[in-house]
Amino acid sequence: MEFFPEVAKVEYAGPESRDVLAYRWYNKEEVVMGKKMKEWLRFSVCFWHTFRGNGSDPFGKPTITHRFAGDDGSDTMENALRRVEAAFELFVKLGVEFYSFHDVDVAPEGKTLKETNENLDKITDRMLELQQETGVKLLWGTANLFSHPRYMNGGSTNPDPKVFVRAAAQVKKAIDVTHKLGGEGFVFWGGREGYMHILNTDMVREMNHYAKMLKMAIAYKKKIGFGGQILVEPKPREPMKHQYDYDVQTVIGFLRQHGLENEVSLNVEPNHTQLAGHEFEHDVVLAAQLGMLGSVDANTGSESLGWDTDEFITDQTRATVLCKAIIEMGGFVQGGLNFDAKVRRESTDPEDLFIAHVASIDALAKGLRNASQLVSDGRMRKMLQDRYAGWDEGIGQKIEIGETSLEDLEAHCLQDDTEPVKTSAKQEKFLAVLNHYIS
Query: What would the DSSP string read from start to end of 38-60?
Result: HHHH-EEEEHIIIII----BTTB
CB of 176 or CB of 340, closer to Mn ion: 340
User: Quick one: which segment of 206-214, 287-295, 338-346, 377-385 binds Mn ion (CB under 5 A)?
Assistant: 338-346
CB of 297 or CB of 362, closer to Mn ion: 297
**Min separation Cβ 131 and Mn ion, Å:** 22
Strands (E), 277-436: 293-297, 337-339
First and final C-alpha spacing in the chain: 42
User: Quick one: which segment of 11-19, 89-97, 267-275, 388-396 binds Mn ion (CB under 5 A)?
Assistant: 267-275
Q: How far apart are CA 44 and CA 23, in angstroms?
A: 16
Query: What would the DSSP string read from start to end of 192-228?
Result: TSEES-STT--HHHHHHHHHHHHHHHHHHHHHHT--S
Binding-residue total with Mn ion (CB under 5 A): 3
CB of 176 or CB of 269, closer to Mn ion: 269
Q: How far apart are CA 9 and CA 293, in angstroms?
A: 32
**Min separation Cβ 94 and Mn ion, Å:** 19
**Residue 102 falls in the annotated catalytic set:** yes
CB of 100 or CB of 119, closer to Mn ion: 100
What's 313's DSSP letter?
P
CB of 44 or CB of 157, closer to Mn ion: 44
| SS3 state of residue 295 | strand
What is the chain's length?
439
Is residue 340 close enough to count as binding Mn ion by CB under 5 A? yes
**Min separation Cβ 332 and Mn ion, Å:** 16
- Cβ–Cβ under 8 Å, residues 214 and 247: no
CB of 247 or CB of 269, closer to Mn ion: 269
User: Quick one: which segment of 84-92, 263-271, 286-294, 315-323 binds Mn ion (CB under 5 A)?
Assistant: 263-271
All residues at 6 or more sequence positions from 35 whose CB lies less than 8 Å from its CB, including other chains = 331
CB of 340 or CB of 362, closer to Mn ion: 340
**Min separation Cβ 386 and Mn ion, Å:** 37
User: Quick one: which segment of 154-162, 291-299, 320-328, 421-429 binds Mn ion (CB under 5 A)?
Assistant: 291-299
**Min separation Cβ 19 and Mn ion, Å:** 30
**Min separation Cβ 298 and Mn ion, Å:** 9
Is residue 269 close enough to count as binding Mn ion by CB under 5 A? yes
User: Quick one: which segment of 115-123, 236-244, 268-276, 376-384 binds Mn ion (CB under 5 A)?
Assistant: 268-276
Strands (E), 229-343: 229-233, 242-243, 264-268, 293-297, 337-339
What's 232's DSSP letter?
E
Catalytic residue (one of 102, 272, 282, 357): 102
What residue type is 60 in one-letter code? G
- Cβ–Cβ under 8 Å, residues 296 and 340: no
**Min separation Cβ 297 and Mn ion, Å:** 4
Is residue 308 close enough to count as binding Mn ion by CB under 5 A? no
Closest CA to 46 of 122, 97, 101: 101
The Cβ of residue 377 has, within 10 Å, a number of other Cβ atoms equal to 13
Q: How far apart are CA 214 and CA 406, in angstroms?
A: 40
Binding residues for Mn ion, rule: CB under 5 A, are: 269, 297, 340
- What are the residue numbers of the active site? 102
